[in-house]
Amino acid sequence: MKETIGQQLDIKNFPFTIKDKNDNQIYWEEFNRFWIKTEYDSNGNTIYVVDSRCYWHKSEYDSKGQEVYHENSDGKIVDKRNSCRNLIYEDSDCKPYNLCIANTTLSLIQPLEMKWQPKEDITGYELAMCLPYLLQPSLIMPHQLPVDALYMRHFEIVNPNSNE
């Protein structure tokens, strides 16, 4: 295991902190090896934080010091930078999104909806080829699917991205 800054410096009194020249706390460590590193912009706003458990978040601020962008390792993004509309996107939501960023519209691709409906004439080979899709712990995106493969006939596939 990699040593923390406190271990490298043989610190005995915790919590241990390091501050920058502007008196901003840039490192904090507890006796149990838990640490937090923080970065600031030239105005003293917190722009990046990461901890020893790999949680992170980053922010951007406008000229008035108001937070206009926030993103974290849980997948949450709040974007107020553009004038088209504010964006609040959470990875756990399964709704279609159209984002307007810098006057460019982007469409987020949603995962396929797959329902297992084996036909009576399914072969052992087809079942074996379908198993990865049946056992896959995550969602399947359109580009991951061999839609022309004969064994895919055992699934009812709905593509929420199609305009049909």
Q: According to the model, what pLDDT value does residue 37 have?
A: 96
Domain ranges of the chain: 5-107, 113-158
Which residues, 6 or more positions from 28, have their beta carbon under 8 angstroms from its beta carbon?
Answer: 15, 16, 17, 18, 35, 36, 38
Please give the structure tokens belonging to residue 153.
Answer: 């006939």
DSSP type of residue 137? S
Residue 34's identity, in one-letter code, is: F
Please give the structure tokens belonging to residue 97.
Answer: 């999104």
Residue whose token pair is 């640490």: 35
Based on its alpha-carbon atoms, the radius of gyration of the chain, rounded to whole angstroms, reads 24
Q: According to the model, what pLDDT value does residue 98 have?
A: 47
Ranges of residues in the chain with a pLDDT under 70 are 1, 82-108, 137-138, 147, 163-164
Q: According to the model, what pLDDT value does residue 161 have?
A: 78
Number of C-beta neighbours around residue 114 at 10 A: 19
Q: According to the model, what pLDDT value does residue 137 have?
A: 63
Each residue of 102-136: pLDDT tens digit?
544 455 677 888 899 999 999 999 999 988 888 87
Q: According to the model, what pLDDT value does residue 123 have?
A: 94
